[in-house]
Amino acid sequence: MRHLDEYRDPVAIRSVLDRIDGALAGPATLMEVCGGQTHAILKFGLDQLLPERLRLIHGPGCPVCVTPLEQIDRALAIAAAPDVTFCSFGDMLRVPGSTGDLLLAKARGADVRIVYSPMDAVAIARREPDRRVVFFAVGFETTAPANAMAALTAAREGLGNFSMLVSHVLVPPALKALLGAEDCQIDGLLAPGHVCVVTGQRDYEDLSARFHIPIVVTGFEPLDLLSGVLAAVTQLARGEAGVENQYARVALPDGNAAAMRTVREVFDVCDRKWRGLGEIPASGFGFAPAFAHLDAERVFGVSELRVEEPDDCPSGLVLQGRLLPTACPHFGKRCTPDHPLGAPMVSVEGACAAYFHYGREAVAAEEACA
Amino acid sequence: MKPDGLESMAAGLACPLPIEEDSIVQLAHGGGGRKTAHLVDSLFLPAFASPALDQLGDGAVFDVGGQRLAFSTDSFVVQPVFFPGGNIGSLAVHGTVNDLAMCGAEPLALSAGFVLEEGFSMDDLRRIVAAMAAASAEAGVPIVTGDTKVVNRGRGDGIYVNTSGIGRVRDGIQVGPDRARPGDAVLVSGPVGDHGIAVMAARSGLEFHTTLLSDSACVLPLVRALLDAAPATRTLRDPTRGGLATALCEIAISSGVGVSLDEDAIPVRREVRAACELLGFDPLYVACEGRFLAVVPAADCEQVLAALRALPDGDAARRIGEITDGTPGRVVLRTGLGSHRRLERLSGEQLPRIC
C-alpha cells in the first residue's frame, strides 16, 4: 500500500537499526510522547529489535488516558440527563468513571452514540432539534481544530440544542512538568508528530533549549519511529540538543496556521486537571467567553462536580514513564481490558492496553525467569 | 524502577472493582470476545450442561442410532440489513451451513425463524427471502421448517433471522476445537476481514466508500475438497465475530497448545488494510462470513492447499502458521520485521479511535 509499505520495509528498518546501534554511545532513555507511537512500537515489536542499552519509556500522550475521572463522571451525569444525545469518539466509551462507563450508561438507557467526527454531532443536532446533543471534545492539539470548527458551525447556525463537554489538553506544558522533575531520567524525546502538524515545533524548541535535550518530531510508522530514535541518539552522541523534524512529509515547522487561528478563535488556554498528573497550569483549552453558551459543563450545571482520583491505579506513574505497565502490581490481574482500573488499560492509545494486548506481560515473565 | 509506596499500596488493596458492570447485559456480551466467552462459561454452560454442548464447537455433534449428527443454530441481527455482497437472508443461510461444515458435516436441512417489526417493508422482506432461497439452493440444503413473529413498531430492528440446521458428519472425519496438535499446519481459506469492513462501510455515519464486497458465502465446496484431501483434519473454524485472532485463541485454549503465525502470510486485501488503518482496527479481529481456518497434519498441508486452490473461491488459501508446544492458549504472531507479538481474544467490540 502506498504511503505505508515503504515505512514498514524490513530492509530499510534493519539498516536504521544498525545505524542506531552504531550511533549509540552509551545507555540512553528516550520517551515517545504519543500513545499512538507507543502502540506502534509494541505492535511492530520495535522494542525487541532495538539495542538493549536503549530504553524507550512511554509518555503522557494518550488523550483518553489523561482525561480526569471527574470529567468522565460529568460525561456520565450529562448522558443520563433527559433528552440528551451524548456523542463521543469510540474509545472514550470504555473509560471507567466512578460508577461505570459510557457503554454501561448506554446499556442502562442513555442515548450514547459513537461518532467519527465532531461535525457528525453537529449534524445530529441539526437533524434532531428535540434532542439536547452533547459532543465529548477530548484530545490534544490534534483534535482541537475539528472541535473548534464544530463549535463555530453550531454557533453560526444558532443550534441551541448543541453543546460540547471540553476536555482538551496541551502537550508542551505536560512535557515541561515531566522534564522539570528533579529525578527526570529522560535523555531525549520523540515529539508527537500529529500534534506538531497542527501546532508546529516552536514550543518544542523552547523545551529543548531549556532542558538541553534532543527532541525529534516523529511519525507513527516503524521507519518513522526508528528514524526518530536514530536522530535523537546521534544528537546525544555528539552532545547536541536541538529540535529535528523526522516527520517533515506531514509536519511543517510552523504547523497549520489556519487550523490554529480557528482554535484560538474558539478556545482560550486554561488550567487543566490531568488524570494521574494533577492540575497543570495553562495546560488545556476551554471555551473562550464568546462561546461559553456551548459549554456543556455550564449548560448542565456539572462544573462543580469534583472527584478525587482513586489511589489504587498508578496510571499517573505510567503516564510519566516512571512505571512500566508490566511492573504495576495490578497489571493483568485486577486490571485487564475487561475490568480496567484506569484508562491506560482501555484506551486504544493507552500504554497498559498496548502491553496487555500485545502480550508483553508474557515476554516480561519469561525474561524474569531467564 | 519501582516507585515508593507502590508495594504497600498493592498490599492494602483487597476489595474488588466497585463497578457492577455485569448486572445488566451489554453489547460486548454478544461481541464474540472475552465477555461473550465469560457469559457462556458462567451462565449457559452450567445451566445447560451436556456432553454435546461442552464440545463448544461451531455446532454440537452427537450420535443418533449409530449415525453422527451435527446440529447448529445462529441468529442474525446485522445492520444494515442489505450490505455490499449480501443481505441478512443470505448471511443467515451461509452462517448455519458453514457452522455445520465446520463440524465436518454434510448439512441436511435448515429451519428459518423470522422476527419482523411492524412496518418493515414487504419488498425488502421479499428480497431477503429470495436471497435465502438462492443461498439454500446453491448450498443444496433445503429450508424445511420455519416460524414468523411480528413485534410492535419500535420493539425490533426491522428484521431478525434465526437459522438452525442439522447435518450428517462425514464418515471417518473427526474435527473439533480441541484436536490441534503441535506440528500441525494452520491454514486460512482466503483473505480475512472483508465482511466486517464491507458492513461497516455500509453503515450510516461512516463516510468512507469502498467497492469491497462482503465475503459472505457457503464454504461447503471448499470444505469438501479439504476433507477429501486430508481426512485427518483436526480442526475447522469460521472466524466470524472476533475474527481470525479470536478464533485461533479459542483453538489454542481448547487444544492446550500454542499457535505461531506468520503475519506476512495472512492474506488481507488492500482495501481492508486501508480501512483498518483509518479506523484503528486490526484486520485480524475483523469478522469474516465466508472463510474458514483449518488445522491439518503438516504432511497433508501442500495437498490441501492444492485442492483448495483448484476451486474458484480457494485461490487465496494460504498456510499462515503452525501449532506449537509453546505456552498453552498463547497465539504469537511473527511480524514482517522479525519481532513477535501476542494475539489475544477480542475484548468487547473494536471501537474507532480518537485520532
Q: Are strands A84-88 and A111-114 parallel, antiparallel or unpaired?
A: parallel
* pLDDT recorded at residue B204: 60
Contacts B336 to A, Cβ<8 Å: 8, 10
Chain A residues close to B335, C-beta within 8 Å:
44-45
The predicted-structure confidence for A114-167, as pLDDT tens digits, reads as follows 998 999 999 999 999 999 999 999 999 999 999 999 999 999 999 999 999 999
Task: Report the number of distinct structural domains present in chain B.
Answer: 2
Contact flag A90-B352 (C-beta cutoff 8 Å): yes
pLDDT on residue B16: 32
Q: Among B169, B195, B221, which residue terminates a domain?
A: B169
* N residues, chain B: 355
Last residue of a domain, one of B124, B140, B169: B169
DSSP assignment, residue B3? -
* Contact of A146 with A100, CB cutoff 8 Å: no
R_g (Cα) of chain A, nearest Å: 21
Same domain, B286 and B253: yes
B 160-189 residues with CB below 8 A of A?
none
CA distance A171 to A175: 6
Q: Is B77 within the bounds of a domain?
A: yes
The continuous run of DSSP H or E covering B195 comes out as helix B194-202
Higher pLDDT, A339 or B302: B302
Restricting to B residues 32-61, those with a Cβ less than 8 Å away from any Cβ of A are: 34-35, 38
pLDDT given for residue B202 in this prediction: 85
Are residues A139 and B355, on separate chains, in Cβ contact within 8 Å?
yes
Provide, as residue numbers in chain A, all residues whose Cβ is less than 8 Å from the Cβ of B207: 116
* B159: its cell numbers: 428484521
Query: Is the CB of B25 less than 8 angstroms away from the CB of A107?
Result: yes
In a domain, B257, yes or no: yes
The reply to whether B189 and B318 lie within a common domain is yes
Contact B244, B293 (CB under 8 A): yes
> Which one, of A59, A50, A47, A61, lies nearest residue A24 by Cα?
A50
Taking 90 as the threshold, does the pLDDT of residue A339 lie above it? no
| Inter-chain CB proximity B337 and A222 less than 8 Å | yes
Taken as a whole, chain A contains a residue count of 370
Given a contact cutoff of 8 angstroms between Cβ atoms, the answer to whether B105 and B59 are in contact is yes
Lowest average pLDDT, out of A17-26, A29-38, A297-306, A355-364, goes to A355-364
Q: How many Å lie between the alpha carbon of A66 and the closest alpha carbon of chain B?
A: 13
Is residue B154 within 8 angstroms of chain A, CB to CB?
A: no
The arithmetic mean of pLDDT across residues A66-81, rounded, is: 95
Together in a domain, B233 and B327: yes
Position B95 in a domain: yes
Q: Are the beta carbons of A94 and B205 separated by less than 8 Å?
A: no
Q: In which residue ranges of chain A is CATH 3.40.50.11740 found?
A: 1-313
Domain limits for position B267: 185-343
Residue with cell 494521574: A276
Question: What's the CATH architecture for A1-313?
Answer: 3-Layer(aba) Sandwich (3.40)
Three-state DSSP class for B182?
coil
Percent of chain A exceeding pLDDT 70 equals 97
| Residue A322 in grid coordinates | 516512571
Task: Looking at the structure, tell me whether residues B262 and B161 fall in a common domain.
Answer: no
Rounded average pLDDT over A28-57:
95
Chosen domain end from B169, B198, B223: B169
- Work out the minimum CA distance from A25 to partner chain B, whole angstroms: 23
Does residue B52 lie in a domain region? no
Question: Is B9 inside any structural domain?
Answer: no
A234-289 pLDDT, tens digit each: 999 999 999 999 999 999 999 999 999 999 999 999 999 998 888 999 999 999 99
Nearest CA in chain A to B206: A116
Per-residue pLDDT at B211: 83
Number of Cβ pairs < 8 A linking chain A and chain B: 147
Q: Note whether residue B41 is domain-resident.
A: no
Q: How far is CA B184 from the centre of its chain?
A: 21
Between A63, A327, A339, which is nearest B17 by CB? Answer: A339
Q: Which residues contact A354 (CB under 8 A, 6 or more apart)?
A: A35, A38, A39, A41, A42, A43, A58, A325, A360
Give the closest of B2, B340, B354 to A64, CB-based. B354
8 A C-beta contact, residue A169 and residue A140: yes
B240 and B204 share a domain? yes
Report the alpha-carbon distance of residue A63 to residue A81 in Å, rounded.
Answer: 25
CB within 8 Å: A48 and B339? yes
Q: Which residues contact B10 (CB under 8 A, 6 or more apart)?
A: A329, A330
pLDDT of residue A243: 98
Q: Are residues B198 and B132 part of one domain?
A: no
Identify whether residues B148 and B290 lie together within a single domain.
no
Q: Could you say which residues from 275 to 314 on chain B have a Cβ atom under 8 Å away from some Cβ of chain A?
A: 277, 280
C-alpha cell at A217: 518530531
Chain B interface mutation, best of A309, A323, A358, highest count of B Cβ atoms under 10 Å: A358
Beta carbons within 10 angstroms of residue A182's beta carbon: 4
What are the grid coordinates assigned to B325, written together?
A: 508446544
User: Does residue B223 share a domain with residue B160?
Assistant: no
Residue A364: what pLDDT?
45
Q: Which residues of chain B have pLDDT under 50?
A: 1-20
Closest chain A residue to B22 measured between Cα atoms? A104
pTM of the predicted protein model: 0.87
Q: In this predicted structure, what is the pLDDT of residue B9? A: 33
Burial A245-274 (b: 16+ CB within 10 A, else e): bbbeeebeeebbeebbebbeebbebbebbb
Average pLDDT of chain A, as a whole number: 93
Phi, psi of A92, rounded to the nearest 5 degrees: -80, -15
Residues A246 and A16: their CA atoms lie apart, in Å, by 13
What single-letter amino acid sits at A236? L
- Helix axes B88-101 and B220-229, enclosed angle (nearest 10): 10
Which residues from A are below 8 Å from B329, CB to CB?
A: none
Query: What is the pairing mode between strands A28-34 and A188-192?
Result: parallel
B127 touches chain A (CB under 8 A): no
Residues B219 and B268 in one domain: yes
Is B150 found in the same domain as B92?
yes
Q: Which residue has the higher pLDDT, A294 or B345?
A: A294
- Tell me: do B238 and B301 sit in the same domain: yes
The whole-angstrom separation of Cα A214 and Cα A208 is: 6
The pLDDT value recorded for residue B11 is 32
Tens of pLDDT along A90-103?
889 988 899 889 99
Domain membership flag for residue B256: yes
pLDDT tens-digit readout, A46-56? 999 999 999 99
pLDDT at B17: 36
Q: How far is CA A58 from CA A62, A317, A349, in A?
A: 10, 10, 11
Query: Could you tell me if B199 and B291 lie in one domain?
Result: yes
pLDDT at A346: 85
